[in-house]
Structures are given as structure tokens and as C-alpha cells.
Chains A and B, each alone.
Chain A
Amino acid sequence: MKFFDPHGDQPRIGLAYGPGLIEFLDANPGLIEYVEMPLEQLRHSPELGAIQDRLPLVLHCASLSVAGFITPSQQTLEAVAREASRTKTPWIGEHLAFVSADGISEEAERDNAPTNLTYTLCPQLSEETVQRVAENLAAFTGHFDVPIILENSPQYFPIPGSTMGMVDFIRRVVEVCNINLLLDLSHFLITALNTKTDAAAELEKMPLERVVEIHVSGLTSQAGVVWDDHAAPAPPEMFDLLKRVLKRARPRALTMEYNWTAFPETLLLSHLSETREILSAR
């Protein structure tokens, strides 16, 4: 089995798991250095662990509901710990978001039944949420052998009750929780575009020295909103932002989240090449 060594001189370049990955690895040996695997997918299809015979795995997680008010079940925590230990992932990348919340129907309130989603939601950006993130992370202490790093959410619309912007929210979480970050550049750009802020200026305010991993993927503008899109190539602005990030950040890994690609493979290869050049030039 191959394991990720986080102590190399250069950041590693990886691909997020998706259909076609094995064929891509066969056709392009040595091009990527690890595979980022959704923990939920690994739980559902344990045979995917065989990829680790070829390349190290880095776990990505969407189950811990770090910014939520419903704590994950003991079973979920144990599953995350088990996979983290088995894969020897260097860290657990988790969303600074929530996937569970209180139910709102009378029956749900009476039965204390939460709403469980399959997709993470951007939380309210407030001091109340910051404190909740801190409580949740404290509750996870001792469960996992490796650190959690938190990924910025994309913001598609104003979250009611928010009292701060996304960057201030992230800064407060880092300050209160003393935690490292997974900077999703696509999410970052999406948030800037949807909240009509200047992405480059916002990036200057980010605690980039905390960035351990970076995500790069595409986006799409539809129905008046910019959306995350792992089937679209990253726009040129993304690479400009990456150059800015690398002036201050020293990430250990960069994952191309191109896991539902229908665009030509030549484009993926050229983006991998461009990314490698940027990383080498820092």
C-alpha cells in the first residue's frame, strides 16, 4: 500500500476520485501523486481502497457537520476514524459546513428527528456558529489519529442572521479553533462572485499560512448565480488566484477536483501541467 508523505519539498498533485480515474492512471502513469477519496464513497464501496496499491489516498469527508448543531453519530465518528487509520491519510479534509439540522415539522420536533442531507450547506456566518464549530471540534478530540483541516464553503446566497463575511468567518474559526485549512479556490471564487466582493482583495485577508491543501475545480454561471461544477474546467482566474495564494501559502497537496469530466482529456492534461508549473515556480 502507498501512503502520503506530507514532508516532501514540493506540494503533491492529486486528482479527486471519479469514474474514469483508473483509465486515466493507466494512460498517464506517474502524472499524479495521490487520489483524494470521499470517505462516504469508501464506506459504500470498500473495494475502492485497492487504488492505494498504486497511489496514496487522502480522505475527504462530508459527514462530520462541523458547523452544525446536530452531532454526528458515534457510528459515523467510528467509521471516519477507521478509514483514516486504515488509509493513513495525512489529514481529514472536512467542510466548514453542515449536513444535518433540526427537523422543522411538528412531528420532527416531537420525535427529535433531524433533517439529514447528502450535500453540505454553507452555515450562518456568525459568532454563534464559530463557537459551535469550536465545540464540535473539541468533541472530536481523541477520535482521530490525524488532524482535521477545514474547507471553505461556497456561498450561493445570503445566509439569514449572518453577521460577517466568509473570510472574516474563516479567520475567526482559525483564531478560536487553532485549525488548519483546505482552501477550495473554486468555492472561494464562487463566494466572491456571488457576494460581489473582490476575490484578490479577499484573499489578502485570508490566513493563508494555515493552508495545507488546495482544491481546484470549475464553476458555472446559471440562473444568476455562480455554482460549483466539478465537470467544468477551472477558468483562468482560478490559476491567477493560485499564484497569489502561493506567494504566502505552503500547501502540502493540491487536488484537481475534475471528477465528473466530460471535456477533452487534453484539457485536463494541460491544466495539470499548468498547475505543476505554477507550483514549481513558487
Chain B
Amino acid sequence: MNARKVHAILAAGVQAPDLIEEWHRSPDTLRALGADPSAFNLAALRNFAGLTVKVRHNPVRQDLPLTFRLMSLLGIEIEIFSSYATARSASGKPFATWAAQRAAEFVAFLEGWLDFEQPTHRAVWDIVRHEQALSSLLKIDKLNPSEENAENQPGVCISENDRPFVRGAVRLFEMAFHPRALAALLLRQNFDFNALDVAPGYYCYWRKSVADPIQFLELDALAFHFLSLADGTQRIKDVQFLLTGSRQDTFTFLECLKPLIGLGVLAVSPYKAMNPR
């Protein structure tokens, strides 16, 4: 087979890896190009296409360095990127020009690709969300003024009719591993995944205002779900009903919210306010 033809076929496969799948399914399509299918290691070519897509995602590393490191240390980086390369090629969608968008699309792919039954895959999902939360909160350069300027209300007397809202911006995640422990492990020279304890938890990444640093909060289940529903449109008693199925014992429920108000992540607007934001 002459070099010119071989180069043309290899380049076509790398540029459009779904072609490699087609050549694998129907070797006659490769023969039709004047090539001997048995001469091509299509599995390796597919993985090589994955390597090239991984390299094209190098700008994404700036936001997701530990995610890339974990994928590499677990030995699944090439597998992930070759699957991604094939999927993108089949979809006909080019990769986004901007790194942030390219990262978001990659993370969306990961969510569908990862097998959450596998602890290693869960760890990848945890660290990628951890890094994306930090990166997206750091990039915020403007927050709704009413949220930024809301007075802290630690001593405020809250009522079941108040409408709760989050002050600033939060990212809320339920994770299988403690993200800080995972990050610390990844920064060590000797990586041993088995040294990491499974530590399911609820985590909140919070930036109160553009002048404030990001805070990392470990929450209980109630606080986590309450914050995810506190959008300023529903009354506390409505959120309570959504979470507990009951409107009884509101006093206890309100007591549970006081630590969040004390921290400043949660604020309330009075019942009569038409638009608390």
C-alpha cells in the first residue's frame, strides 16, 4: 500500500473517528478505498484519535488540572477521550472555540459516559465538579446587587411565611468522596486510590460577593436540599412541605435553618415582599 494512500486513510480516521467505527463494522468500506483492512490496527487508531482530542483539550486543563491528573492516574484518559472523539465526530458538532464552553461540553459528556457504580468513576465525577465549581465561582465578576448587599440576619426572627434565598452564588453537590481529601491525594507524588476513604457528603461552594473568597461548606441533607430550593419565590413552609411532606412542627424546621442564616449563605425576605430579588 503506498504511503500517500496510507496517510490519507489514517488522517481521515483521526479527523472523523466515527469512520473508524464504520471501517470496523464494514471492512469492505476500507477495501473500497484500496486498503487492506487487516493491515490497520483500528482499535489503536481510534485511541490515537482520542489522544489528539485530549491534546486539543489542553486549554481546559487550566480549569480542570486535577481531573486530568486523576483520569491519567486511573489509566482511563485515553479511553474517555477516544469515546468522546467518536461521539463528537458522529454528532457532527465541532469542538467549542472557547475553553470554558469546551470544558462544559466535556463535563456533560463525562456525566453520560461515567459508570457511577465504579468508585474510580465516582471520584472523577466528584473532582470534575469540585474544580468546575471553583472555576465558575472565581470567574463571577458580578452578582445581583440585592444579594450582595443583603444584610446579614443572624439575629433575625424568621417566620414560616418568609421567602428564603441564597446570598451570592452557590454550587451544591452530593459527592461520594470528600473533595478536599481527593484533591490532596492527587497532589501527592505517590498516588494510591485505595488510600482514599469513601465519604459521602453534601457540599456547598459559596461566594457571598465578588469581593469575597469562595467558602467551602459541609452540609447535612436538610441544609443541602433546602439551599437547592431556596430561590426567593417560595415560602419557608412551602419548602418544608416539599422536603418533609408536612407543614407540622414548623418551629423545629425554622430552628434547623438558623445555622445557614448565621453563616450568611441564606437570607430571607419578608412575606409581603412582592419580588425579594
Binding site for B on A (CB under 8 A): 19, 68-69, 98, 100-105, 115, 117-119, 121, 123-124, 126, 128-129, 132, 156-161, 220-223, 225, 227-229, 231-232, 260, 262-264, 267
B222 contacts chain A at the CB level, 8 A cutoff: no
Whether the pair B79, A223 counts as a contact (CB closer than 8 A) is yes
Whether the pair B12, A104 counts as a contact (CB closer than 8 A) is yes
A102 to chain B minimum Cβ distance, whole angstroms, is: 4
Contacts of A102 in B (CB 8 A): 4-5, 7-8
Whether the pair A229, B47 counts as a contact (CB closer than 8 A) is no
Whether the pair B3, A126 counts as a contact (CB closer than 8 A) is yes
A166 to chain B minimum Cβ distance, whole angstroms, is: 15
Whether the pair B75, A221 counts as a contact (CB closer than 8 A) is yes
B62 contacts chain A at the CB level, 8 A cutoff: yes
Whether the pair A222, B7 counts as a contact (CB closer than 8 A) is no
Roughly how many angstroms separate A11 CA and B58 CA in the complex, as a whole number? 29
Roughly how many angstroms separate A129 CA and B4 CA in the complex, as a whole number? 9
Roughly how many angstroms separate A158 CA and B6 CA in the complex, as a whole number? 11
Given contacts A157-B41, A222-B78, contact A101 B52 (CB under 8 A): no
Given contacts A101-B8, A117-B15, A161-B39, contact A232 B3 (CB under 8 A): no
Question: Chain A binding site: helix, strand, loop or mixed by DSSP?
Answer: loop
12 contacts between A and B (CB under 8 A): A68-B7, A128-B2, A129-B3, A160-B6, A161-B1, A161-B3, A161-B6, A220-B78, A225-B78, A262-B69, A263-B69, A264-B189
Contacts of A105 in B (CB 8 A): 12
B210 contacts chain A at the CB level, 8 A cutoff: no
Whether the pair B72, A232 counts as a contact (CB closer than 8 A) is yes
Binding site for A on B (CB under 8 A): 1-12, 14-15, 33, 35-36, 39-41, 44-45, 47-48, 51-52, 55-56, 58, 61-62, 65-66, 68-69, 72, 75-79, 82, 186-189
Contacts of B72 in A (CB 8 A): 220, 229, 231-232
Roughly how many angstroms separate A75 CA and B47 CA in the complex, as a whole number? 32
Whether the pair B35, A160 counts as a contact (CB closer than 8 A) is yes
Whether the pair B47, A115 counts as a contact (CB closer than 8 A) is no
Roughly how many angstroms separate A161 CA and B6 CA in the complex, as a whole number? 8
Whether the pair B6, A124 counts as a contact (CB closer than 8 A) is yes
A267, closest chain B residue (CB): B189
Question: Chain B binding site: helix, strand, loop or mixed by DSSP?
Answer: helix
Contacts of A132 in B (CB 8 A): 3
Residue from the list A117, A160, A222 in contact with B76, Cβ < 8 A: A222
Whether the pair B44, A101 counts as a contact (CB closer than 8 A) is no
Contacts of A262 in B (CB 8 A): 61, 65-66, 68-69, 186
What would 4 more interface pairs be, CB under 8 Å, given A126-B3, A262-B68? Answer: A102-B4, A119-B55, A121-B7, A124-B3
Ranked nearest first, the 3 interchain pairs of A and B with the lowest CB-CB distance are: A157-B44, A101-B11, A160-B39
Contacts of A260 in B (CB 8 A): 58, 61, 68
Whether the pair B6, A115 counts as a contact (CB closer than 8 A) is no
Contacts of B4 in A (CB 8 A): 69, 101-102
Roughly how many angstroms separate A263 CA and B69 CA in the complex, as a whole number? 8
Whether the pair B58, A263 counts as a contact (CB closer than 8 A) is no
A97, closest chain B residue (CB): B7
Roughly how many angstroms separate A155 CA and B20 CA in the complex, as a whole number? 19
Whether the pair B78, A117 counts as a contact (CB closer than 8 A) is no
B58, closest chain A residue (CB): A260
B187, closest chain A residue (CB): A264
B51, closest chain A residue (CB): A227
- Best-surrounded residue of A68, A101, A228, A229 (most CB of chain B within 10 A): A101
- Best-surrounded residue of A121, A262, A264 (most CB of chain B within 10 A): A262
Contacts of A158 in B (CB 8 A): 39, 41
B9, closest chain A residue (CB): A104
Contacts of B187 in A (CB 8 A): 264
Whether the pair B68, A19 counts as a contact (CB closer than 8 A) is no
Given contacts A19-B61, A124-B3, contact A231 B8 (CB under 8 A): no
B243 to chain A minimum Cβ distance, whole angstroms, is: 39
Roughly how many angstroms separate A120 CA and B27 CA in the complex, as a whole number? 26
A174 to chain B minimum Cβ distance, whole angstroms, is: 19
- Best-surrounded residue of B10, B12, B56 (most CB of chain A within 10 A): B10
Roughly how many angstroms separate A121 CA and B49 CA in the complex, as a whole number? 10
